[in-house]
A and B are shown apart, each in its own frame.
Chain A
Amino acid sequence: MKGNEALAEAAIRAGCRHFFGYPITPQTEVSAYMAKRMPKIGGTYLQAESEIAAINMVLGAASAGVRAMTSSSSPGISLKSEGISYIAGSDLPCLIINVMRGGPGLGGIQPSQADYWQATRASGHGDFQNIVFAPSTVQEMVDLTFRAFDLADKYRMPAMMLADGMLGQMMEPVSFPEDYTPIKADKSWATNGHQNKRPHNIVNSLYLQADELEQLVVDRFARYEQVKQNEVLVECENTEDADYIVVAYGATARIAKAAVKAAREKGLKIGCIRPITVWPFPTEEIAAAAEGCKGFLCVEMSMGQMVDDVRLAVNGRAPVSFFGRTGGVIPTPAEVLGEIEKLAGGDR
């Protein structure tokens, strides 16, 4: 299946019956798939009048305690950022898909990873985080969609799938889990009709008393601490004996892996670390790998964004260098191998 379609099917199988979107390349197949399927299974598919409307519909649906999602690509996510902040400020779970394309501005429609900072630092105003997943295969887009809905429910926060045009557009074989049951989450806060049987619930992000708002944010950050403790996902390959370690996520990690494989065939001791969650970031795993390692190479489809998190994790234990292509240009395995050889070549 195509990445975008596999993701949409996974969301449906995860129990999502409320999709609100607005078309944009390279994620339009998500919307198109939902438009076809949702009416047949009693779900809601709504093409909103804009991205801003779509994210606010997600806010509304999520307030009622149902699994809701929206999907877009880079410029559309910028438009959604106000709503994402409101959703985080209202402690609501939802899934937001970003199939990244080149930017800034309208940019281009080819694959990119230049929204890393936006996803992990500033997907809206205020003190908040999203759980951000970075799939690297179509199968992983499927598997992480189930996990994203579960964790969003568990921690009452937005989850984001940070994919890119390559993953969205490519086809790979996928299998769907046979026996998925959604996590049991307390949704007693949902505004889904009280029928005079309980006090009414209010979903809100406006708190005019500074100390009250501060306490809410502090409580929320205590929850984020739990996420950091429990939910980091990372793949480490050949890091034990590695002189140098390549760090890459998403589609770029596939390209990096091809280069690492070629480098090892040439006798270079190169390892590879692939963050699967980019928030929470695998800081401890990278810090551990930095012991006894001569250097890191971070590879991205951007001018260098995740490299900041790698540097923070390495914390001066080893030099961290960067290679990236941007604007929709996809780095080649040969280019990455060239960078690895520049670093490690002298050691042969």
Chain B
Amino acid sequence: MTQNILLAGFGGQGILFAGKVAAYSGLMDGKEVSWLPSYGPEMRGGTANCSVCISDDPICSPLILNPDALLVMNKPSYDKFIHKVQPGGVAVIDATLISDREEIKGVKTCYVEATRLAEENGLQGLANIILLGKVLKECGFASLEAVKKGIEKSVPARKQHLVEPNFRAIELGMSL
């Protein structure tokens, strides 16, 4: 069983971080994992995306073109990837930032007001993790316990106070 998750948005939205959490979660569950970022010359702005593969078998290509799950946080990435999702897959979309609403045959689309929910719940900057929580609920790429361990691994030592808000964001996403 292999799950290919593609995360996409603007640089600075925490796309690569959310991908790292997903990859570490798979690792905590004892799976084979890979995390491949798109990389560009810019630190912020521009589009950023990353491919995360979680599998029972060694991973061949770490580059995902047709994801089983898409997490998307901006319009350019939405336009680029929404029709690339595998049939039977799921797309989780930040509906605060993307106004398009589209039904895609064979794909479950989840429009989540993640940025608004983050602000209302004192979780500013954690819309990415709320969306990841929704992806987790829809396709169960790891156990919640593993995801929490993944968060602890991914949050840098000097930002340990952000571990708990990340836990809340994941749980909020899973409740939607």
Which among B32, B40, B61 has the highest number of chain A CB atoms within 10 Å? B61
CB-defined contacts of B23 to chain A, threshold 8 Å: 171
Report how far A255 CA is from B34 CA in the complex, Å.
14
Closest to B20 in A: A171
CB distance from B139 to the nearest CB of A (A): 20
CB-defined contacts of B20 to chain A, threshold 8 Å: 171
A221-258 contacts to B, CB under 8 A, are 254-255, 257-258
Report how far A330 CA is from B39 CA in the complex, Å.
14
Contact of A254 with B36 in the complex, beta carbons under 8 Å: no
Report how far A171 CA is from B65 CA in the complex, Å.
18
Report how far A334 CA is from B60 CA in the complex, Å.
13
Query: Given A170-B34, A171-B23, A173-B27, A255–B39 Cβ distance below 8 Å?
Result: no
B48-64 contacts to A, CB under 8 A, are 59-63
Contact of B36 with A169 in the complex, beta carbons under 8 Å: yes
**Does A21 sit within 8 A of B, measured CB to CB?**
no
Task: Choose among B34, B39, B60 the residue that contacts A171 (Cβ–Cβ < 8 A).
Answer: B34
Report how far A171 CA is from B59 CA in the complex, Å.
12
CB-defined contacts of B131 to chain A, threshold 8 Å: none
Report how far A173 CA is from B53 CA in the complex, Å.
12
Report how far A26 CA is from B41 CA in the complex, Å.
10
**Does B37 sit within 8 A of A, measured CB to CB?**
yes
Report how far A332 CA is from B59 CA in the complex, Å.
14
Contact of A333 with B39 in the complex, beta carbons under 8 Å: no
**Does A13 sit within 8 A of B, measured CB to CB?**
no
Task: Choose among B35, B40, B62 the residue that contacts A254 (Cβ–Cβ < 8 A).
Answer: B62
Q: How many residues of A contact B (CB 8 A)?
A: 19
Closest to B31 in A: A173
Query: Given A26-B39, A109-B39, A109-B41, A170–B62 Cβ distance below 8 Å?
Result: yes
Interface size range of chain B in the complex: 10 to 19
Closest to B51 in A: A170
**Does B127 sit within 8 A of A, measured CB to CB?**
no
**Does A172 sit within 8 A of B, measured CB to CB?**
yes
Report how far A255 CA is from B40 CA in the complex, Å.
22
**Does A261 sit within 8 A of B, measured CB to CB?**
yes
Task: Choose among A25, A254, A332 the residue that contacts B39 (Cβ–Cβ < 8 A).
Answer: A25
Report how far A299 CA is from B40 CA in the complex, Å.
25
**Does A84 sit within 8 A of B, measured CB to CB?**
no
Contact of A254 with B61 in the complex, beta carbons under 8 Å: yes
Contact of A330 with B63 in the complex, beta carbons under 8 Å: yes
Contact of B60 with A333 in the complex, beta carbons under 8 Å: yes
**Does A304 sit within 8 A of B, measured CB to CB?**
no
CB-defined contacts of B61 to chain A, threshold 8 Å: 254-255, 258, 332-333
Report how far A19 CA is from B32 CA in the complex, Å.
32
Contact of A166 with B60 in the complex, beta carbons under 8 Å: no
Which among A26, A109, A171, A332 has the highest number of chain B CB atoms within 10 Å? A171
Contact of B60 with A258 in the complex, beta carbons under 8 Å: yes
CB distance from B155 to the nearest CB of A (A): 16
**Does B33 sit within 8 A of A, measured CB to CB?**
yes
CB-defined contacts of A172 to chain B, threshold 8 Å: 33-35, 59, 62
CB-defined contacts of B34 to chain A, threshold 8 Å: 170-172
**Does A102 sit within 8 A of B, measured CB to CB?**
no
Task: Choose among A25, A170, A257 the residue that contacts B60 (Cβ–Cβ < 8 A).
Answer: A257
**Does A165 sit within 8 A of B, measured CB to CB?**
yes
Contact of B60 with A169 in the complex, beta carbons under 8 Å: no
- Interface 1/0 per residue, B137-154 and A, CB below 8 Å: 000000000000000000
- Interface 1/0 per residue, A172-188 and B, CB below 8 Å: 11000000000000000
Which among B27, B36, B37, B40 has the highest number of chain A CB atoms within 10 Å? B36
CB-defined contacts of A171 to chain B, threshold 8 Å: 20, 23, 34-36
Contact of B63 with A173 in the complex, beta carbons under 8 Å: no
Task: Choose among B33, B59, B63 the residue that contacts A166 (Cβ–Cβ < 8 A).
Answer: B63
CB-defined contacts of B65 to chain A, threshold 8 Å: 332, 334
Which among A173, A261, A330 has the highest number of chain B CB atoms within 10 Å? A173
Q: Which residues of B contact A (CB under 8 A)?
A: 20, 23, 27, 32-37, 39-41, 59-63, 65
14 A-B pairs whose Cβ atoms sit less than 8 Å apart in the complex: A170-B35, A170-B37, A171-B20, A171-B34, A171-B36, A172-B33, A254-B60, A255-B60, A257-B60, A258-B60, A258-B61, A332-B65, A333-B60, A334-B65
Closest 9 CB pairs of A and B: A258-B60, A171-B35, A170-B36, A255-B61, A258-B61, A257-B60, A254-B60, A172-B34, A254-B61
Q: Identify 12 new A-B residue pairs, CB closer than 8 A, beyond the known A166-B63, A170-B35, A330-B63.
A: A26-B39, A169-B37, A169-B39, A170-B37, A171-B34, A171-B36, A172-B34, A172-B35, A254-B59, A254-B60, A258-B60, A258-B61
